[in-house]
Amino acid sequence: VAGAAERQQQQQQRGGAASASGNAVFKSGPLFISSKGIGWKSWKKRWFILTRTSLVFFKSDPNTLPQRGGEVNVTLGGIDLNNSG
């Protein structure tokens, strides 16, 4: 449990899913996203975090520790729900 709290604090310091302003996570979990190639579709499993103001996608769960040294979990994209229309 202490490890999860430390990771959440690190995420807050980096401006992650739960910011210091109290932007609580409404929903998070795996989501399959379709991408279309030449004549075929590919489904990729991504991790998403939905807050009151944003929807952010990661390659994998940002709360898990990397399996191998040197791996970095990349934020693949995000939507600012305050400015999206």
Confidence of residue 29 (pLDDT cuts 50, 70, 90): very high
pLDDT tens profile 55-79 = 888 888 877 766 665 555 555 567 6
Question: With 80 as the cut, is the pLDDT of residue 52 above it?
Answer: yes
pTM over 0.75: no
pLDDT value for 64: 76
Q: Give 44 or 81, the one with higher predicted confidence.
A: 44
Confidence of residue 81 (pLDDT cuts 50, 70, 90): confident
Hey, what domains does the chain have and what are their CATH numbers?
2-80 (2.30.29)
> What's the distance, CA 64 to chain centroid?
12
Q: DSSP secondary structure string, 23-44?
A: --EEEEEEEEEEEE-SS-EEEE
